[in-house]
Amino acid sequence: MSKIKPSKGAPYARIMGVGGYRPTRVVPNEVILETIDSSDEWIRSRSGIATRHWASDEETVAAMSIEASGKAIADAGITPEQIGGVIVSTVSHFKQTPAIATEIADKIGAGKPAAFDISAGCAGFGYALTLAKGMVVEGSAEYVLVIGVERLSDLTDLEDRATAFLFGDGAGAVIVGPSDEPKIGPTVWGSEGDKSETIKQTESWEAYRKGTPDKFPAITQEGQAVFRWAVFEMAKVAKEALDAAGLSPDDLDVFIPHQANMRIIDSMVKTLKLPEHVTVARDVETTGNTSAASIPLAMERLLATGEAKSGDTALVIGFGAGLVYAATVVTLP
C-alpha cells in the first residue's frame, strides 16, 4: 500500500471570472491594403475581418496580460494573494527564458505561485484551462490564473497576401477555482503533427540569427488546407466534447470557437447543426485572429454586451498550429 498521502483538492473546478485587454490602436483593412494587392471586400468575404487591434511599444505581452488579469481577478472576487498558479499561453513572447508568467505573477502581487508558459498556438487557452482545472482538483492550487496573450503583429508579414489581414493583438484571462458541481467538462484534445507545415513560422530563430533570411520570421499558413481541416475535423472534435459532457447541441446556450475566420465559424455552426437559440461568438470581425487570446477575449465581450450571461452553458474549441486542438464545455462565470 502506498504511503503517499492523497491530494485534497476540490471536487470540481469552474471559471470564476474573466477579463480582457485590447490595444488602443484600431487598424482597419485600409491600412493592410497599403502593403498587399487586395480590397476591403475581398478581406471581409474571405475572413469576416473589418478591423483588428495592434499593440504599441508600451502594450507588451506582460502589460496586456496584467491588465486582463486584473479584470479577471476583480470579476472572480478574489485577491491576487490567493492565486496559486499562473499559466500563460503565448507564441509571441520573444524571450526563451524566463517564462513571462513569472513576471506577471510578481507584478499582479500573486506572491509565489507556480508560474509557467505553454506554447499550443490557437488551442493554447484550452490546453491551459485543462491544466488549471487539474491543479484545482488535484489540490496544488486553490485558484489558477489562465492567460492567453499575443502580439501577433510582431509576427505578421505585411506583404503576405494570405495572412497580412488576419492577425491582431490582445490578452484574455480567466480565474479557475473550486466548485461543488462540474462546471468545466472533460477536454477532448490532441495533435496532428503530420500537418505541421500548414501553419508555421517562416524561418527558425537560428536561421535568422545566422542571417539566412533577410526578413524577420513571420507566421504563414496554407489557407485552404487549414480551412478544410478546421471545418470538417474540428466539428467532429466539438461533437466529441459535447458527448463527453453528456450534452447535445440543444443543451448549449453559447458557442465560442477560436476566432480564426468568420467563414470557418459559420461553417462549423452549420456542420454542428446548432439551434438558432445558441449565441455564437463572432469577435473576429473587430478583433482579428489573436490566437491563444481569442477565446477568452470573445467570452469577455459576450458577457460584457449581455449576449451571454452568467450560468450559460458554452462549448469552447481552439485549433491551430501544430496542428493542435482542444475542446470542452464550460459554465460561464
User: What CA–CA distances, in Å, run from 111 to 85, 106, 150?
Assistant: 10, 7, 24
Give the chain's mean pLDDT: 96
Condensed to tens digits (0 to 9), the pLDDT of residues 227-276 reads 999 999 999 999 999 999 999 999 999 999 999 999 999 999 999 999 99
pLDDT in tens, 9-48: 999 999 999 999 999 999 999 999 999 999 999 999 999 9
Contacts of 27 (CB under 8 A, 6+ apart): 51, 52, 53, 54, 168
Strands, E, within the chain: which ranges? 12-21, 25-28, 51-54, 83-89, 114-118, 143-151, 169-179, 188-191, 199-201, 219-221, 254-257, 279-280, 313-320, 324-331
Burial (0-12, 13-18, 19+ Cβ within 10 Å), 135 = buried
- Annotation says 289 is catalytic: yes
CA-based nearest residue to 174, from 333, 12, 59: 333
Helices and strands (H, E) in the chain, number of each type: 11, 14
What pLDDT shows up at residue 48?
A: 97
pLDDT given at position 299: 98
Among residues 29, 53, 93, 258, the one annotated as catalytic is: 258
pLDDT, tens digit (0-9, with 9 covering 90-100), for 95-110: 999 999 999 999 999 9
Q: Is the pLDDT of residue 1 over 90?
A: no
Quote the pLDDT of residue 274.
98
pTM for the complete prediction?
0.96
93 noted as active-site residue: no
Catalytic site residue from 29, 53, 93, 289: 289
Written as one letter, the residue type at 116 is F
Residue 213 in this model has a pLDDT that exceeds 80: no
The catalytically annotated residue of 29, 53, 93, 122 is 122
**For range 318-322, the mean pLDDT:** 95
